[in-house]
Structure 1
Amino acid sequence: MASREHLSRYGRYAGGPDPLAPPVDLADALDAIAEDVMAGYSPRRALREYLRRGGARRPGLDELAGRIQERRQELLGRHRLDGTLEEVRKLLEQAVLNERKQLARDVAMDDTDRALREMQLENLPPSTAAAVNELASYDWQSIEAREAYERIKDLLGRELLDQRFAGMKQALEGATEEDREAVEAMLRDLNGLLDKHRRGEDTDGDFAEFMARHGGFFPENPQSVDELVDALAKRAAAAQRLMQSMSPEQREELMRLSAQAFGSPGLMSGLEALDANLQALRPGEDWSGSERFQGQEGLGLGDGTGVLQDLAELDALAEQLSQSYNGSTLDDLDLDALARQLGRDAAVSARTLAEIERAMHDGGYLRRGADGDLRLSPQAMRRLGKSLLRDTARQLSGRTGSRDTRAAGAAGEPSGSSRAWQFGDAEPWDVTRTITNAITRTAAGGGNPAAGLHLDVADIEVAETEARTRAAVVLLVDVSFSMAVQGRWVPMKRTALALHHLVSTRFRGDRLQLVSFGLRARSMDIGELTALPADREQGTNLHHGLLLAGRFFRQHRSLQPVLLVVTDGEPTAHLLADGEPWFSWPPDSETIGATVAELDRLGRAGTQVTFFRLGDDPGLERFVAAMARRIGGRVVAPDAGELGAAVVGEYLRSHFRGPGDDADWLG
């Protein structure tokens, strides 16, 4: 059996980011950011909003900032600052009580001397500091009383040093006179080094010599004078804020008591010189602030200074988490400080958010446009479109009487490419690619392909097919302000993204044009449509949209024209002869006539037309029903959440069914 000395011990990894942690999953972030972009946010703001609210299983900056404020309030609500004064008062009471007992027991003492001593003890000032100072020259008769009084001086010295040098109170407990002299020597040398540094006369050798002599006082192990000054200045500034957070009476008491620290006035003069040096070297520290403590747990000077440092650290973290200053990024976050204040899990969450921010920029999901602003990149669009199409396919497959969205077998012609088999695929296998994959996998695993092959699901590839009917598709989307007001803005954009991804990846022989229509109509790419803000613009110019659709169809005469119209209102605008839009509410006959005439032209050209009516406006319902009957088109009235499935389903129907076939493919 291995000896105990050779047994391994395992614990939580604490050397930085976990090397075994899974890579950051950007899918959740990208979906959330894109959703906000489609709602009208800029990509920059959408990224900021995501970082602020976090993901489904990850706290965001706002939650972390809230926990920072809770931690701050908890510190202020738990503590009070008179811990040292209270401890001194108790030691003084103990010393006086023991002295009185000794005077009562000492029968050999002269009565006059006893009376004078008792009178002095009886008439001590009510101020603790004044009483301690008055007893500085008292000749104690009780050994216990003298020890209690000496502990007051020792306590004050250790507390005053602990204010400037964290941990000194514990380190000097039970210190000898030699230890105290070493502290005073360190203070003299430190002030000498800082004086030279202020004048720019110090050298690396001066710092090295100082650390060689006094490095034991500095467990932080600073590597330069500046690192030493930074650490000391933060602590000294916190000590100043601590004193300013006390009541005037408490401050006065401590100032009067400080003369008794270690029984050495030289200690206070050394600390005062240190404070002056540090304040001159680091004037940017907060030397004048204060806090309001309201708790019941008394703090000594050293511990109180530590709490003031914690409060300053919490304030710095709150500013970093706010990300409200110019040039701010999550790389600014002090993760070590966050772990100290809120725990390791909070630091891991913040690091993950920083990695998401970095990956969105460096991973190609956001790119800077010609106007200098950030935009979703084509890579982000593809990834988002794939996700939306997957959701749409899931909705389609859940419909009664529906069929899968993939084209298979005789319904399509081979495109010459193949892809990995997915559950539900009905396309013919690409046998050559499938067998090649099996051979490669077997050989890579050390097996002998000549001895026989065993197919794995991962080996299977299917031949991609294209529908025999190639189409020129125009998706006309209403961008009037009512779409945004009624909560249809984002579903409309999600629909366009899903359809765009389907056409660009599975029906590459088709041509798709996206056209928005408000007061005017405009052809745009998917990136423009995704980022389109919801303007408060009146007008539903379907007439202009149909004109642009007709132009696109004429450019692709060899393809089957398919028109998909998404709208939530009757036409209220049309183009005049001079190209300017005319708006009228209620719709006038000229607008309706121009729209109907253009729709008739598309119908005569054999265009398959489907209207997607959103909402239950009676006027719109009558209009689209009449138009569909007029040109042999269809009307679908989906809920906003089902718009994507309805549009994609109709698009697929245009491939698998010819014009005039009234079979309800979607069930």
Structure 2
Amino acid sequence: MSRGARYGPYDGGDPLAAPVDLRDALAAIGDDVLAGSSPRRALRELLRRGHGNMRGLDRLAAQANRRKRDLLNRTNLDGTLRDVRELLDRAVLAERKELARALDDEARFAEMRIEELPSSTAQAVQELADYDWRSPDARQDYEKIRDLLGREILDQRFAGMKQALEGATDEDRRRVGEMLQDLNDLLDKHSRGEDTPEDFEQFMAEHGDFFPENPRNVDELLDSLAQRAAAAQRLRNSMSQEQRDELDALAQQAFGTPSLMEQLNRLDGHLQAARPGEDWSGSERFRGDQGMGLGEATGALQDIAELDALAEQLSQQYAGAALDDIDLDTLARQLGDEAAADARTLAELEKELQRQGFFDRGADGQWRLSPKAMRQLGQTALRDVMNRLSSRGGQRETRRAGAMGEPTGASRPWEFGDTESWDVVRTLTNATLRDPGRVPVRMAVTDVEVVETEQRAQAAVALLVDTSFSMVMDGRWVPMKRTALALNHLVSTRFRGDALQLVAFGRHARVVTPAELAGLDGVYEQGTNLHHALMLAGRHLRRHSNAQPVVLVVTDGEPTAHIEPEGYAMFDYPPSPRTLGLTVRELDHLARLGAQITIFRLGDDPGLARIVDRMARRVGGRVVAPDLDGLGAAVVGDYVRSRRR
């Protein structure tokens, strides 16, 4: 049997929109982490400010607050009272014209009654309830008042009722009364726990056209009615006492009978008892000039309540907040489909970053960037460095540049971990000989042969990075970290035989992993202990005595601390002769190991320039003074040149 297909409106956002760019998003998160934020906070910051053309939570919340402010500033609550007054004035004027043409005594008495009408609109409408109108136009306008009041009062409880009952007949009004009576009876039974699904189905079968929301049960019916009734109550709370008194008096004239208000008051009692959690006591202050009817004002207060809820959901400032809390249907209704699409994309971005393993939790329960994320950040940092190197030197970036030695002319079977290029001719020949005559040719892993290359010289590399507080204050913190990540990625992917060690030095020095360096917070710590860092670098080089030794130092300060034999750090500024002497002695030790030493001097401090120049000349090293944007290119380029030498 064939299976039919059902079609409906697409609600999954823009189907032609580009997929979420996790690489760029991770780069933005990485910048915040390198600057000292935790991964969790960096992710939240990305979601708050958005990414690329995608609006963040802050902009969406600001849009919700602007819409709420516009509703309050544009409108006021006098709309219904103004409409009633206008109809009353028109009716009285038409009646006066009609009476002026009449010559009988009853017309004179009627004129006196019209002249003595009270100034209060509600009292005047009540006074004319039993008046025998002579003018057909006046009678029609007065009946419009009763009809308008009935529709407005119903529109407060049932959205769209004002328009639906325009020009209503007596039969329409009778149906409204029956619906209210049946609704109250149903809610009576529900409050006692005596209602059944059949009761609800029968009610909807008879009166379902009054409920376009199409509730599926009594609870959903209560939810929709209670939200609008609570908004109607907040509207009443927002009025002045004079406005409330006027409307209460006018309400008794709705549809020409007080029974409508009796049924609505009974309904309000049911709703407040069933849904006490709704905001029944709040109010808003409308300040505009555009008058609203009761139903329109109630709808505006519903909008304001939804906007308040959206602003809280978008703020994500409450305990246990999650992007899944955002009501996308309400967001689309209040701010448009594009806003809902942006919020949906933000949620997808957060889920994809976690699903693809860019975050993990340490033993202490704290979020950290995973090794996969660190590789991605290193790749991004290296790509930026290579682009700068290419543009500066006229070279082109190539993934395989420097990755292997010269080919020997021989090939060998591929083994797991090999990064050499395939020998395509030998590979296809093996596949053909293994299964002769087969077209197309099918290859197996055992067919693959790779090009043998000359053995490369290995290098032992120590990158020493200054982590004193001056690096943070002068904006050198993030460029330093990005440089270390770029070099680490280059070594781990293209020069896998090299041994790289990262050493961070402030008051003390310590060996760090790329992840530890990336998450390192800038703290106020006096001291630039290059002496200790050089000692750790020397140990690393001695452990790899057969490798080419390379030492790279990134610093913005003179050596102002050293390690005493007892193990504690001694700080002195200006640098003491003992600190300088111990630092130079460690440099001599590295020089005797054959290390190629390059010092990358950041900043324009004359004292620092004088000291590092003398140290470099002493050991035959180099001093490079790059700008911050060129730091990564300078370090990576020097590393590659050192290997070639």
Per the TM superposition, whether the score is higher than 0.5 is: yes
Deviation at 1:203, TM superposition (A): 2.5
SS at match of 1:58: coil
Q: CA deviation at 1:351?
A: 1.1
Q: Which residue of 2 aligns with 1:56?
A: 52
Match of 2:614 in 1: 626
- Aligned partner of 2:316 among 323, 340, 343: 323
Q: 1:615 aligns with which of 587, 603, 614?
A: 603
Give the AA of the match of 1:305. T
Asked if the contact 2:407/2:451 (under 8 Å) is kept, the reply is no
The residue that corresponds to 1:477 in the other structure is 465
TM value normalised by structure 1: 0.88
Is 1:148 the counterpart of 2:136? The answer is: no
| Aligned counterpart in structure 1 of residue 20 of structure 2, from 21, 24, 32 | 24
Q: Structure 1 residue 179: deviation in Å?
A: 1.6
Write the distance in 2 (CA, Å) between the matches of 1:376 and 1:51.
Answer: 17
1:215 and 1:645 map into 2 onto residues whose CA distance is 72
Counterpart position of 1:407: 402
Residue 100 of structure 1: which of 96, 99, 123 is its match? 96
Q: Secondary structure at the match of 1:497?
A: helix
User: 1:389 corresponds to which residue?
Assistant: 382
Any conservation in 1 of the 2:560–2:573 contact (CA below 8 Å)?
A: yes
Counterpart of 2:535? 547
Q: CA deviation at 1:416?
A: 8.4
Alpha-carbon distance between aligned partners in 1 of 2:130 and 2:124, rounded to the nearest angstrom? 11
Residue 265 of structure 1 and its aligned partner are, at CA, apart by 1.0
CA distance in 1, matches of 2:625, 2:575: 22
1:578 paired residue among 566, 569, 586 = 566
- Name 1:589's counterpart in structure 2: 577
2:83 equivalent to 1:87 = yes
Correspondence for 1:137: 130
Matches within 5 A, 1:511-526: 511-526=499-514
Compared CA separation, residues 276 and 258, structure 1 to 2 (3 A): same
2:544 & 2:75 partners in 1: Cα distance? Answer: 78
Aligned residue in 2 for 1:643: 631
State the secondary structure of the residue aligned to 1:399: helix
| CA deviation profile, 1:587-615 (whole Å, cap 9, x unmatched) | 11111111111121111111111111111
- TM-score (norm: length of structure 2): 0.91
Shift of 1:22: 3.5
* Displacement after TM superposition at 1:230 (Å): 0.9
| One-letter amino acid of the counterpart of residue 616, structure 1 | D
Deviations 1:465-501 (A, max 9, x none): 7871211111110000000101000000000111111
Counterpart CA distance in 1 for 2:168 and 2:54 is 49
- Post-superposition shift, 1:639? 0.7
Q: 1:603 aligns with which of 553, 568, 591?
A: 591
Asked if 1:340 corresponds to 2:336, the answer is no
- Give 1:106 shift: 3.3
TM-superposed CA distance for 1:158, in Å, is: 0.6
Which of 200, 215, 236 lines up with 2:229 in the alignment?
Answer: 236
Q: Quick one: distance in 1 between partners of 2:595 and 2:460? A: 10
Contact 1:162 1:169 in 2 (8 A): yes
Asked whether 1:191 is paired with 2:184, we answer: yes
User: Using the alignment, how far apart are the partners of 2:539 and 2:641 within structure 1?
Assistant: 23
Residue 532 of structure 1, CA deviation: 0.3
Most deviating of 166-175 and 97-106: 97-106
Decide which of 272, 276, 281 is 2:265's aligned counterpart.
272
Q: Deviations over 1:314-356 (max 9, x none)?
A: 1111111111001111111111222222221111111111111
Alpha-carbon separation, structure 2, partners of 1:417 and 1:501 = 24
Deviations 1:266-307 (A, max 9, x none): 110111111111111111111111112121211101111111
Contact 1:317 1:338 in 2 (8 A): yes
Q: CA deviation at 1:513?
A: 1.0
Q: Secondary structure at the match of 1:611?
A: strand
Q: Deviations over 1:193-221 (max 9, x none)?
A: 22332333322222222212211110100
Tell me what 2:435 maps to.
none
**Equivalent residue, structure 1, for 2:551:** 563
Deviations for 1:218-277, whole angstroms, at most 9, x for unmatched residues? 010011111111111110111111122222221111111000011121110111111111
Of 151, 157, 170, the match for 1:164: 157
Distance 1:625 1:142, change over 3 A: same
AA of the residue aligned to 1:639? D
Q: CA offsets, 1:26-83, max 9 Å, x none?
A: 1221111100000001111111111111112222111111111211121112111111
- What one-letter code is carried by the residue in structure 2 that aligns with 1:101? K
The RMSD of aligned alpha carbons is 2.7
The equivalent of 2:37 in structure 1 is 41
**Matched AA of 2:200:** F
Aligned length: 622
The answer (yes or no) to whether the contact 1:407–1:466 under 8 Å persists in 2 is no
3-state SS of 1:562 partner: strand
What secondary structure sits across from 1:475 in the alignment? strand
Tell me how far apart the structure 2 counterparts of residues 388 and 466 of structure 1 sit (CA, whole Å).
30
Contact 1:82 1:300 in 2 (8 A): yes
- Superposed counterparts of 1:134-533, under 5 Å: 134-400=127-393, 406-407=401-402, 430-432=423-425, 468-533=456-521
- Quote the Cα distance in structure 1 between the aligned partners of 2:413 and 2:622: 34
SS of corresponding position for 2:368: strand
Using the alignment, how far apart are the partners of 2:391 and 2:514 within structure 1?
Answer: 27
Offset from partner CA, 1:363-391 (integer Å, 9 cap, x none): 21111121111111111111111111111
Question: How far has the Cα of 1:13 moved from its partner?
Answer: 5.8
Q: Is the alpha carbon distance of 1:404 and 1:363 closer, same or farther for their aligned partners in structure 2, counting shifts above 3 Å?
A: closer
**2:308 and 2:451 mapped to 1: Cα distance?**
61
The offset of 1:312, in angstroms, is 0.8
Structure 1 Cα separation of the partners of residues 412 and 263 of structure 2: 86
- Given that residues 468 and 655 in structure 1 are in contact (C-alpha distance below 8 angstroms), is that contact kept between their aligned partners in structure 2? no
Flag structure 1 segments of 5+ consecutive residues without an equivalent.
1-10, 420-426, 440-446, 451-460, 658-667
* 1:127 equivalent among 96, 117, 120: 120
Amino acid paired to 2:505:
F
Contact 1:467–1:507, Cα closer than 8 Å, also in 2: no
2-structure distance, mates of 1:552, 1:397: 31
Tell me the CA shift for residue 124 of structure 1: 0.5
Q: Distance in 2 between matches of 1:196 and 1:623?
A: 91
Alpha carbons of structure 1 residues 51 and 73: separation in structure 2 relative to 1, 3 Å: same
Kept in 1, the 8 Å contact 2:405–2:453? The answer is no
Q: What stretches of structure 2 of length at least 5 have no aligned partner?
A: 1-6, 433-437, 442-448
Q: Per the alignment, do residues 465 and 377 of structure 1 end up closer, same or farther by CA in structure 2, a change over 3 Å counting?
A: farther
- For 2:396 and 2:54, locate their aligned partners in 1 and report how far apart those are by CA, in whole Å: 37
SS in 2 for 1:55: coil
Q: Flag the 1:563–1:498 CA change in 2: closer, same or farther, 3 A.
A: same
For the residue of structure 2 that corresponds to 1:523, the secondary structure is strand
Partner-residue secondary structure (3-state), 1:195:
helix
